[in-house]
Structure 1
Amino acid sequence: MIRIFHAMTLACLLATPVQADAPEWAATSAFEAPPGAAPGASFAGTLALQTTQMSVQADPADGMIQTPWAWWGIFDFLAAQDPDGAVPLFELDATLFPGLPIDLVISDDGDVVPLERGVLRAPVAQRTPSFWELVASPGRSWELTGDAEQGWSRAAFPISLVQSQEGEAWIGLASFDYREGETTPLRVQLSSMSAGGFIFWDADFDVAAWAEVPFTLAPLEVDAGAIVAAHAAEMADRRPAKPLSELGAAFGAAAAALDPAGTLAVAVLSDGTLYMDAVETPFGPHPYPRDMRVGVWSVTKSLIPGLAAMRLAQKYGPDFLDTPVVSWFSEGDEFDYLDETARARWQEVTIRHALDMSTGMGATGYDPNWAMENLNTYAWSYSYALPDQIRAYFNVGPNPDVGGPGEAMAYIDQDMWIAALAMERFLKSKEGADATLLGLLEAEVYAPIGAGHFVSGTGYTETGAPGFPFSAWGALPTIDILARAGALVGNGGKGPDGSQILHPDLVAGLTASADYGLAFWRREVTSDSGTTIVPYMSGSGGNTVISLPNDMTIVVLGRDSYNVEISDEAAVALIEAARAVRPF
């Protein structure tokens, strides 16, 4: 029998939090081992969390949207898809912490390792009343030493509240104290510091939240030794970190010139070292900044379909890129052409066109595509069932502004999704029905470059397991994953061991012109030494990953607002700072 231990007498909880009105235990210092602390006791168990009301402090106070799906006013079609017994869509509450299970192993050395590093969620029919789902990341445990704490250990680890169909994340921390047969509730604190979106658009709107979440503890039968060993190997491969200032004054000036209200972090991977400064939160500096999961919106386009296309081309040749998209789907069974004019143009659209967002189909650009009256886009992006999404995607006619595919780019998010889905079907034709695009990326792209545990929001499944990624948004990477992915592109598609992971000609093509292509942006940078085309990944909220030809990658994480952008001048200043360190 596990007894829940509620007494909050622990001395190291008594740090003063930065966030006004938050309890003392919410300060980030309470989630970090004191200097010289001994590792906590080993542990293995499932924390079956209860859905819990959070204390939410919003600024301005009337800006908090408690039931986002109802607030938007356009999701009646999705509410109608709620299965029997599901918590109604319009009642899902953004002020509730989700009651989901977390499986944890804690090593003798004090490493806290969640078994599942992806999105923790339930099937739609069994979803919690919370709007949110959950991602847990590795942390640390340590012995407590106060007079009232004898025999107790504390485990602390980063968490993010996320939503599978969206791209934002509330970043935060969780901790609980434990000893044989006893635990405290899980203490959580969170803030809307990652680039917002679905309900948090404004850089002037801030949210902080906290709660003590009750849980029951269940035994966990796993090979703890193997889990601990795998995590130790992962940490051994982690690049060392240094302050950004050690790269020189030019980088400090360029980083300082970014909008502070819209910038969460700046990091530079150079010669195998990650340079970055502290990540500030309303509760103090984040103690595990390299393990926090953030939403990066359209950077996902490069991380999923972009890298997948170049990996598949390396394995099987690039010819699949020029196959018609419709050849991977079944007319009549899966979709119908809107009319004969649509049929004629759809049959010309290739996977490459979709990756370039130049299909010549559908809306004329981003704003008309996502206009609230264009319900077909919302039916594609939010429907629970993949067949419904496929039918909605093809339910459009030609873009009237162009004469055919490949003529001009129009920013249509769903083109990335269809490109990824067609590529997954190509992959299955080569490797069998069990092959998935996310599986390919994890095993053959991210793990080989030391960036394993790639996480993305996906469509729902009957079991709650990952479905198909939205591919235009939804990736939830760490700073390290972003830096290493950018370095892979900057290194010509070669991994750290020199193996060719991505198709070299396609990677080289990213620097051939300043046009958008293969899910990457390109920027032309001119200096005394000439003109260079620099490929980069870009997502709303100011999220940017710049791949440079001098073994340097720049990562900028947006803060708190979907609408922040990095100006061309600010981006060039960062690139020139890198050039000052190592000319190219």
Structure 2
Amino acid sequence: MRLLFKLIAGLIVSGGTAAQAYADTIFSDDFETGTVSAWTTTGTVGASTSKAIGTYSMRLRGTASGTINLSSVGYSNVSISMSLAATSLENNDDCYAEFSTDGGSNWSIVTQVSNGQDNGTFYSGSASPASAEDNANLVARFRGTGGTTGDYCYGDNVLLSGDLGGINPAPEIDAPVSLAFGNVQTGTTDNSVLTVSNSGDANLSIGSISGLATPFTITSDSCSNQTVSPLASCAIGVSFSPTSEIFYSDSLSILSNDADENPLVVNVSGTGSSTGGGPVDNYDPLSGSGNVARSELGYSVLMNGTDPGQLVNMSAFALPVEAAQPSHNFEGRLVLQGEATGGGFDEQKDTFRYTGNSDTTRKHLPEFDFDFVQTGTHIFPVERGAIASSHPEWEYIFSPGRVWQENNDFGYSRVSIPFALMQKNANCVHNGAMSFLFKDDGSVSKVSYQISAETCLYFKVDMWGLLDATYTPASVSNATALKADYQAEVANRMPRKPFSDLASDYPGVDLSAFSAPNSTDPTHVTLYGFVINGTHYSGGCETRNGPYPFCEAMVVPSYSAAKSTFGGVASMRLEQKYPGTFSTVISNYVPACAADGNWSDVTVHNALDMATGNYGSGLYLSDEGRSHTNGLFLSEDHASKINYSCTQYSRKSAPGTKWVYHTSDTYILGRTLNEYLKATEGSTKDIFADTIVEELWKPINLSPTAQFTRRTYDSVAQPFTGWGLMWMADDVAKITNFLNVDDGQIGGQAMLDPTQLSAAMQKDINDRGLDIPIADPFKYNNGMWAHEVSSSLGCANNTWIPFMSGYGGITIVMMPNDTTYYMFSDDDTYFWLDAAIESNSISNACQ
């Protein structure tokens, strides 16, 4: 829906630790973000406008201090400069700007301000000690020694700079963290190649390579006992020859002279299958003892308990460390009773006053009657995506969960399933989990459920309950193929690490630049992540009652990021298949837009750029208001949505000349593409199912969750196009990798029109797109936003970064250095420049 950017210029541009505009800046902070959150403080410290070189400085009262850890690893001729001012000092009161090269044990003064200099004038100083070169233990500090609370010190313009290269060139070994073969038929062999690279600035000396045992074999090796030059690579061939239908895992150990990653360990896995690509029964086995110390949702609660009346910690739904292999296999139908009246509800935020003190349907679950299939220790729903129902407000989304055994469950197996509620006809997602006990004979406990997190700006709630249930064991149609598909889905996920590992893999990186850019409130963050060199670092997944136990399966909404990944991608796919699609006239395919002539000269390209020339006001986001809500978003049938979109606005400017944000334009675009596809390929074709999913999303192995879109609630079933997609974190990583790293290619074949994709990704300096009418340099091109960041990154040339954005606080940034940063939050902030700056510190993002 509506982006509600709150003037992007003030939000995105104000990233912390903005670098100066030259290449050898290591770190700088001028506090112009209005925050000192990157610093560790004692006493009364904050950002101040009373005395500053720019708008803000760090203000310290009395004996306060502000300290920050820095690193100059990889730099020589290192210099640090700091500026300092003071007011109201007395005798023996001083303000200090100082640094340490030994982690804070000893300090050297950069500049000092004393009584008599305390008129608010800034004094600057610098130092260039040899001990600061190639040093991971640098610390900068501002502090005061004032004896009263009226004594103030003001720190500003901290700059650490040096010559790239360092005094100690070092090798850096790089390789994927895992090598997954997936399902391989027993008695056959599958082969793969592991590439090992040197991303450092000195020769990498590789020693022995060991660790793999049958059924894994090293088949070729150009790495052992070899020297790999900087930016060069070698290869290790690995084969997998399973003999049994089980899951195999092992690790490969690579010795080298990389000081901080020796040995490098690569996890290798695969599953033996009776038919190539088929499922195995003993999938992902557990080896725990079953001795689980459980304080919540124990056997007696699930079997005989009553509604708890409150939330439990989400860890009660998590797979415990000592979980044992399950004794029972779930396949069949689970039905809940009492959904319409049972359960608790606690409202956290309700902007539109949906609920009050009285009971309403919005406070309860929809009817629950669904099939699930177990494969090994995993369980998954037969149906993914938002499931339409008769409930007036809610629809279910189910994700894969786990099955295990605990000794205190008296022979029952325990299930935990992640699920979400999505608001009908909207895109907010409320994440929860449910758990129960069962046996093969159909015995089942009550089902405990809980929701305590969401990605939703305007409606935040907790829901919980303990409901009676029935389990009907039955063979699910096509269960074997479903199991194979699920196992393949897991095997094909991008290598993933906890976000904390980013700091060890890339020493010196500031994790807070990604987790809380510009001091973003973490309580509103659902997911965030960073993708670099084929590894997906993911974080977040917090709820109001502890970490979400299924972070890898947590569902997030797209909102207007769908304009990029549906409207933009579908347009570029058709342009690649049928050159001239971008020039297709809207009114030729959408009769509702043909009545008044305002669409007779508007093309697919114009609608994608939201430059149709038809609008009410050219002011920023002015048209995306209440009329859109009532006419477009709340309407459930296609006729209402398209009639509103085609007739709401009159002609104001020539098509293609002025950008005016309209979700209605993207809805019209989706309808045009759908009808164009039907006319070109046949009346049964669908722009999302056949073009997006079959031709793009399935080949790049997106989850079944990502293969769903919201549609109108009528026989037309028109995809919304401008909103209504949902993803898991792995889907976001793969989509951006497809667009940004692989340049829209699959298997070396261009799937999107290269010219239009290059423009969308800001790789064509002659086609940046249309101006967005706000103060700072932003563009919109082929469904993608873009921001000019040269001064922030210290780039010599103009550098534009493309990004996607969605209502409430959804940001997906694709940087020129082939990295991706994403954050899904819901406090209506869209900060990402901090993350871009930090990504640039790892790998040059300048164009």
TM-score scaled by length of structure 2: 0.57
Residues 316-339 of structure 1: per-residue CA shift (max 9 Å, x gap): 22x111111111023xxx4663xx
Q: Tell me, yes or no, if the aligned pair for 2:310 and 2:344 is still in contact at 8 Å.
A: no
Q: Could you tell me how far apart the structure 2 residues matched to 1:284 and 1:412 are?
A: 38
SS of residue paired to 2:664: helix
What is the CA deviation profile of residues 341-369 of structure 1, one whole-angstrom value per residue up to 9, with x for unaligned ones? x41x3211111111111112133267553
Indicate which of 240, 253, 267 corresponds to 2:495.
240
Give distance in 2, aligned partners of 1:233 and 1:573.
Answer: 36
- Match of residue 74 from structure 1: none
Which secondary structure does the structure 2 equivalent of 1:352 belong to?
helix
Cα distance in 1 for partners of 2:293, 2:373 equals 23
Question: In structure 2, how many angstroms separate the alpha carbons of the residues matched to 1:34 and 1:223?
Answer: 31
Say if 1:267 and 1:277, in contact at 8 Å, map to a contact too.
yes
Change (3 A) 1:28 1:168: same
Partners of 2:674 and 2:350 lie apart in 1 by: 45
Match of 1:250 among 492, 495, 509: 509
C-alpha displacement of 1:506: 1.3
Distance 1:187 1:367, change over 3 A: same
1:461 aligns with 2:711: no
Distance in structure 1 (CA, Å) of the matches to 2:616 and 2:363: 35
The residue that corresponds to 2:727 in the other structure is 477
Could you say if the C-alpha distance between residues 395 and 63 of structure 1 is closer, same or farther in structure 2, counting changes exceeding 3 Å? closer
How many Å separate the matches in 2 of 1:65 and 1:183? Answer: 35
Q: Which amino acid aligns with 1:110?
A: T
In the other structure, the counterpart of 2:479 is 224
Aligned residue for 1:183, secondary structure, equals coil
Matches for 1:65-464 after TM superposition, within 5 Å: 65-66=354-355, 93-107=361-375, 109-122=376-389, 127-128=390-391, 130-146=392-408, 149-179=409-439, 180-197=441-458, 200=459, 206-218=460-472, 219-248=474-503, 249-254=508-513, 255-256=515-516, 257-317=519-579, 319-330=580-591, 334=592, 337=595, 342-343=596-597, 345-364=598-617, 368-372=622-626, 374=627, 378-399=630-651, 402-439=652-689, 440-453=691-704, 454=706, 455-461=708-714
Give the 3 Å change call, closer, same or farther, for CA 541–250 of structure 1 in structure 2: farther
Query: Which residue of 293, 315, 339 maps to 1:29?
Result: 315
Please give the secondary structure, in 2, of the residue aligned with 1:158.
strand
Question: Which structure has the higher relative contact order (CA within 8 Å, separation 6+)?
Answer: 1
**3-state DSSP of counterpart to 2:511:** helix
Structure-1 separation of matches of 2:805 and 2:349: 29
- Paired residue for 2:782, among 518, 526, 538? 518
What secondary structure does 2:804 align onto? strand
> How far apart in 1 are the matches of 2:584 and 2:382?
39
Q: Post-superposition shift, 1:11?
A: 7.5
Letter in 2 for 1:382: L
Distance 1:137 1:120, change over 3 A: same
Offset, 1:196: 2.7
In the alignment of these two chains, the number of paired residues is: 514
- Structure 1 CA distance for aligned equivalents of residues 457 and 625 of structure 2: 19
Q: Which residue of 2 aligns with 1:49?
A: 336
Distance (whole Å) between structure 2 residues aligned to residue 100 and residue 517 of structure 1 = 43
1:29–1:150 CA distance, 2 compared to 1 (3 A): same
Deviations 1:104-148 (A, max 9, x none): 0011x11111111111123xxxx13x51111000111111211xx
Contact preservation (8 Å) 1:27, 1:283: yes
Give the whole-Å Cα distance in 2 for the aligned partners of 1:538 and 1:61.
23
Q: Distance in 1 between the 2:695 and 2:588 partners? A: 26
Q: 1:11 to 1:209 in 2, by over 3 A?
A: farther
Letter in 2 for 1:95: K
Q: Aligned pair 1:14/2:264, yes or no?
A: no
Identify the match of residue 825 of structure 2 among 558, 561, 565: 558
Aligned partner of residue 346 in structure 1, secondary structure: coil
Q: State how far apart, in whole Å, the 2-side matches of 1:539 and 1:153 are.
A: 40
Which has the larger displacement, 519-528 or 228-237? 519-528
In structure 2, distance between residues paired with 1:37 and 1:294:
28
1:370 is displaced (CA, Å) by: 4.5
SS at match of 2:509: helix
Residue 217 (structure 1) shift: 3.2
Measured in 1, the distance between the counterparts of 2:753 and 2:380 equals: 34
Q: CA deviation at 1:216?
A: 3.5
Change (3 A) 1:244 1:192: closer
Say which SS state the counterpart of residue 521 (structure 1) adopts. Answer: strand
Task: Give the C-alpha shift of residue 416 in structure 1.
Answer: 0.6
Unaligned runs of 5+ in 2: 1-290, 299-306, 769-777
**Matched AA of 1:281:** T
Cα deviation 1:500-530 (Å, max 9, x = unaligned) = 2222211111203252021110111213343
CA separation of 1:22/1:185 partners in 2, compared to 1, >3 Å: closer, same or farther?
Answer: closer
Superposed, 1:506-545 pairs within 5 Å as 506-510=756-760, 511=762, 512=764, 513=768, 514-526=778-790, 527-530=793-796, 531-545=798-812
Q: Does structure 2 conserve the Cα–Cα contact (< 8 Å) formed by 1:457 and 1:474?
A: yes
Would the alpha carbon gap of residues 110 and 580 (structure 1) be closer, same or farther in structure 2, given more than 3 Å must change?
same
Distance 1:450 1:23 in 2: 41
Look up the SS of the partner of 2:402 in the other structure.
Answer: strand
* % identical aligned pairs: 25
TM-superposed deviation, 1:184: 1.7
Q: Which residue matches 1:577?
A: 838
**Counterpart of 1:134 in 2: which secondary structure?**
strand
Measure the CA separation in 2 of the matches of 1:360 and 1:61.
36
Q: 1:15 to 1:61 in 2, by over 3 A?
A: farther
Moved more, 359-368 or 261-270: 359-368
Distance 1:353 1:378 in 2: 24
Please tell me whether the aligned partners of residues 401 and 417 of structure 2 are also in contact (alpha carbons under 8 angstroms): yes
Q: Deviations over 1:132-178 (max 9, x none)?
A: 111000111111211xx222111112111002411101111122211
How far 1:479 sits from its partner (Å)?
1.4
Deviation at 1:263, TM superposition (A): 2.5
- For residue 483 of structure 1, report the CA deviation from its aligned partner: 1.8
Cα displacement (A) at 1:284: 1.1
SS at match of 1:487: helix
CA distance in 2, matches of 1:313, 1:160: 36
Structure 1 residues 215, 16: CA separation in 2 closer, same or farther (over 3 Å shift)? closer
The 1:408/1:492 distance shift into structure 2, 3 A limit, reads farther
Q: Give the distance between the partners of 1:297 and 1:119, measured in 2 at CA.
A: 14
Give the 3-state SS of the residue equivalent to 1:176 in structure 2: strand
Q: 1:326 to 1:132 in 2, by over 3 A?
A: same
Displacement, 1:390?
Answer: 2.2
Question: For residues 476 and 564 of structure 2, what CA distance do their matches in structure 1 show?
Answer: 38
Q: Using the alignment, how far apart are the partners of 1:210 and 1:435 within structure 2?
A: 42
Cα distance in structure 2, aligned partners of 1:100 and 1:467: 24
Aligned-pair CA distance for 1:220: 4.6
Deviation digits for residues 35-57 of structure 1 (CA, Å, limit 9, x no counterpart): 24223322211223343333112
Is the Cα contact below 8 Å between 1:515 and 1:522 reproduced in 2? yes
Partner Cα distance (1:193, 1:62) in 2: 15
* AA in 1 matched with 2:812: V
Is residue 192–residue 208 contact of structure 1 (8 Å, CA) maintained in 2? yes
Structure with more helix by fraction:
1
Judging changes above 3 Å, is the alpha-carbon distance between structure 1 residues 304 and 54 closer, same or farther for their aligned structure 2 residues?
farther
Q: Which has the higher strand share?
A: 2
Query: Residue deviations 1:181-201, cap 9 Å, x none?
Result: 21123221112431334xx2x
> Structure 1 residues 575, 470: closer, same or farther in 2, change over 3 A?
same
| Paired AA for residue 343 in structure 2 | M
Q: What's the secondary structure of 1:121's corresponding residue?
A: coil
Instruction: Give distance in 2, aligned partners of 1:504 and 1:579.
Output: 26
Per the alignment, residue 6 of structure 1 pairs with: none
SS in 1 for 2:710: coil
